Structure 1
Amino acid sequence: MWWVVGAIVVVLLAGGGIALAVARGDGKPRAATPSSVPPTSAEPAPTTPPPSPGADITGPLDLVLLGVDTRVTIPDWEPHSDAIMLLHVDKGLKSAYLYSLPRDLRVKMPAFAKAGFGGGTYKLTEAMSRGSRVPGSKKANVKQGYELLTKTLSAYTGIKQFQAGAILNFGGLDKLVDQLGGIDLAVDQKVSSHHRKPDGSLRPLVGGEYQGPAAVYLPGKRHLVGWQAIDYARQRYGLPDGDYDRQRHQRQMVRAILTKALDQGLAADSAKLEGVITALGETLVYVGGRTPLEYAYALRDLEPSKITLVGLPGNGVGGGSGYLGEALTAEGRGFLTALTKGQAPGYLAKHPKLVNK
């Protein structure tokens, strides 16, 4: 299940509306501070409005976007990061790259004393759950899990610092998409649902198999409402490349939501923007040194069309006990190296198949 896209609206381009509110509100000229020396003329001394919060952020930025299964209905359930997406914004904040890492990526995790974790090699999705453990307690700490996950990501990708992260759990994407009036998406392959009927109701699970007619998403331009967006984004079974196809569909949906948010004129409709943010409610956890509002203002000129969607290919790896996880190919790892060196445009020019059209 994937809930990441809503976080981007809050942390990223939904900020177009937030940024405008800052410029029109806090950015208005303020009364001059009284001085011990009176002005020499009757004209009031000119004042310079203070810079908007976030105006000093120039990039580059690396942001983490996570879809986390917290299973709030199950007591003491440990959170798992089911969708892991990274957004790199170039210096100047006018262009960006959005790419995914497989949830089952086999990675080395550093020791993490806060959780009593000694380190080791595991699937990337486990970093959140292992890092969230609080010794002596059955309660999970999501922000603590995020800390171990980002340490693991830094070691794997070579990105030294992630400036902020947005974490969404179950229970927000359908409301978010419906708040926008649905989204328009170019479906690139036939996708059959394992979980939903054509009317959106759940398919019954009988003997380990889903029964009854299934919702089907055919190639072409489609308008998806909330439950359809959730259903489409979570499907991987029956697709030629499984989870890699699902990752691509998730990235496409990110851009579709951002495009719809801008087309809806959120920048000029503070009430509607507030409704979108409210739709997320407690399903969103934000982690960062600066506030979402500051990043929103800094990224006000980043258009969805300037976000390059990148797919990193990989293969399953195994051992004596069978399947162990996924590993990126040399071509996929090469993109991460190029990105950290500021050479992503040239690398993608040489490896055009990595770009999702």
Structure 2
Amino acid sequence: MAKTSSKRRAPLWARLCAIFGCILMVLSGSALVGGQVLMARYAGAVDNADLFGNAASATKVSDIKGPLNILLVGVDPRSEEQTPLSDSIIVVHVPRTMDQAYVFSIPRDLVVDIPSFAKTGFRGTRGKINSAMGFGSAVGNGKHDPVQGFDLLARTVQQLTGIQKFDAGAIINFGGFKKIVDAMGGVTMKIDQNVKSEHLQPNGKPRPRLARCADHSCEHPYYGPQAEYKVGTRHLEGWQALDYVRQRYGLPKGDYDRQRHQQQFIKAMAKQALSKDVVTNPTKLDKVLKAAGNALTFDGNGHSVVDWGFALKDISSENMTLIKLPGASLFNNGRYQGEGLEDSADEFFSSIRTDAVGTFLFQHPEYFNNNA
């Protein structure tokens, strides 16, 4: 492991991709209340793709057995001419018992070895992990395909963690995020500290940008009134939820605070997805599933997203354990290089491979995100 600095300069990344886990929970709930037609409609709306480059053949639903590892990647919408970057990288480990889920995120600025990739002629390098998707995405004529890029990112995460293969994966397009939250009727969550928005006004419109910062050269390019999120239990609309989990400027612990807020949001959204207000309301459920289908590109290694919904039906927000990987910023002659993990992360990754995460967490309680 690289030597790390105790000082942390947080990168500008945002939004954990809680969407996929919530989708599976909604599907499980709809299955229990007889939503077969809605599930079939949703399965048809999901964009299925070969994310791992292995063209897996279909198998039986009963073959989805633990332990399982799922890779989730969140991206902002970009044109084919723009290089895709993974804004959020999450691994979900489901133990052999199939009754709980361990969720951890990988810092997008984590410095890792990115392997070579024959499809693009990329020879490999050492750099920030969020660039792996970009290095693997080139398809010629100046075009980029995030599906192909996912393949190289998955290989990079496998090399980092020692996970031999992922059992499923998904790309979540944050352009559809707001629609999913709004289709659910918003999300109720606890705000644990006062937060002001760097990006939006109180009415949800973008804050004006300083003319001299048009080239994105300024760290704080915005001015004018700010949306605020005050301490307490609040019900957030889609734009508010998305904005809240983006914020790090002005917070005492910067990106550490933001990561905690994102994990709090994961559990709040999962709870909302399984509420009676959603799963027993056919109209609302239909809207949620269709919005989710438009935001998701999925590879279940031969299984449909509905198959996965059934397989993980025993997992709820109450038995989702949210984990924080300890790390700090790397500096070279005072210049920020990226993020590094503490040595104990190797032992944590080993517990993933041996399906012994529960034992590891008992011995390392500091990995629990107790405030999430």
Shift of the alpha carbon at 1:202? 1.3
User: Take 1:294 and 1:196, find their aligned partners in 2: how far apart are those partners?
Assistant: 39
User: Take 1:90 and 1:142, find their aligned partners in 2: how far apart are those partners?
Assistant: 29
Shift of the alpha carbon at 1:210? 1.1
Q: Report the counterpart of residue 310 of structure 2 in structure 1.
A: 297
Shift of the alpha carbon at 1:3? 6.5
Q: Report the counterpart of residue 336 of structure 2 in structure 1.
A: 323
User: Take 1:186 and 1:106, find their aligned partners in 2: how far apart are those partners?
Assistant: 33
Overall identity of the aligned pairs, in %: 41
Q: Do the aligned partners of 2:16 and 2:262 also contact (CA within 8 Å) in 1? A: no
Q: Do the aligned partners of 1:314 and 1:329 also contact (CA within 8 Å) in 2? A: yes
Q: Report the counterpart of residue 54 of structure 1 in structure 2.
A: 61
User: Take 1:111 and 1:22, find their aligned partners in 2: how far apart are those partners?
Assistant: 47
Q: Deviations over 1:153-184 (max 9, x none)?
A: 01101111111112122311111111111111
Q: Do the aligned partners of 1:236 and 1:245 also contact (CA within 8 Å) in 2? A: yes
Q: Report the counterpart of residue 262 of structure 2 in structure 1.
A: 250
Q: Report the counterpart of residue 85 of structure 2 in structure 1.
A: 80
User: Take 1:239 and 1:330, find their aligned partners in 2: how far apart are those partners?
Assistant: 27
User: Take 1:241 and 1:152, find their aligned partners in 2: how far apart are those partners?
Assistant: 29
Q: Do the aligned partners of 2:203 and 2:227 also contact (CA within 8 Å) in 1? A: yes
Find the residue that maps to 2:337 and give its secondary structure. Answer: strand
Q: Do the aligned partners of 2:323 and 2:369 also contact (CA within 8 Å) in 1? A: yes
Find the residue that maps to 1:194 and give its secondary structure. Answer: coil
User: Take 1:265 and 1:151, find their aligned partners in 2: how far apart are those partners?
Assistant: 40
How many residues were matched structurally? 327
Shift of the alpha carbon at 1:321? 8.5
**Could you tell me which amino acid in structure 1 is paired with residue 105 of structure 2?**
S
Q: Report the counterpart of residue 201 of structure 1 in structure 2.
A: 205
Q: Report the counterpart of residue 286 of structure 2 in structure 1.
A: 274
TM-score (structure 1 length as normaliser): 0.85
- Which segment is superposed worse, 184-193 or 172-181? 184-193
Shift of the alpha carbon at 1:20? 3.4
**Could you tell me which amino acid in structure 2 is paired with residue 310 of structure 1?**
I
**Could you tell me which amino acid in structure 2 is paired with residue 62 of structure 1?**
N
Find the residue that maps to 1:246 and give its secondary structure. Answer: helix
- Which segment is superposed worse, 258-267 or 86-95? 258-267
1:149 matched to 2:149? The reply is: no
Q: Deviations over 1:6-53 (max 9, x none)?
A: 23223x21221453377968xxxxxxxxxxxxxxxxxxxxxxxxxx96
User: Take 1:18 and 1:196, find their aligned partners in 2: how far apart are those partners?
Assistant: 35
Q: Report the counterpart of residue 235 of structure 1 in structure 2.
A: 247
User: Take 1:116 and 1:230, find their aligned partners in 2: how far apart are those partners?
Assistant: 36
Q: Do the aligned partners of 2:100 and 2:314 also contact (CA within 8 Å) in 1? A: no
Shift of the alpha carbon at 1:260? 0.5
Q: Deviations over 1:290-346 (max 9, x none)?
A: 211111000111111100011112111123582211001123443222222222222
Among 111, 117, 126, the alignment partner of 1:121 is 126
Distance 1:242 1:133, change over 3 A: farther
Q: Do the aligned partners of 2:137 and 2:144 also contact (CA within 8 Å) in 1? A: yes
Q: Report the counterpart of residue 264 of structure 1 in structure 2.
A: 276
1:127-146 maps to which residues of 2 (within 5 A)? 127-134=132-139, 136-146=140-150
Q: Do the aligned partners of 1:186 and 1:222 also contact (CA within 8 Å) in 2? A: yes
- Which segment is superposed worse, 142-151 or 1-10? 1-10
Shift of the alpha carbon at 1:82? 0.6
**Could you tell me which amino acid in structure 1 is paired with residue 180 of structure 2?**
L
User: Take 2:60 and 2:192, find their aligned partners in 1: how far apart are those partners?
Assistant: 40
In structure 2, the gaps of 5 or more residues are: 1-13, 38-58, 214-220
Q: Deviations over 1:204-259 (max 9, x none)?
A: 11143211121222232221111100101111222333333323322221211110
Q: How big is the alpha-carbon RMSD for the aligned residues of Structure 1 and Structure 2?
A: 2.3
User: Take 1:345 and 1:170, find their aligned partners in 2: how far apart are those partners?
Assistant: 31
1:172-187 maps to which residues of 2 (within 5 A)? 172-187=176-191
Q: Report the counterpart of residue 67 of structure 1 in structure 2.
A: 74
Q: Report the counterpart of residue 160 of structure 1 in structure 2.
A: 164
Shift of the alpha carbon at 1:282? 3.5
Among 323, 334, 340, the alignment partner of 2:353 is 340
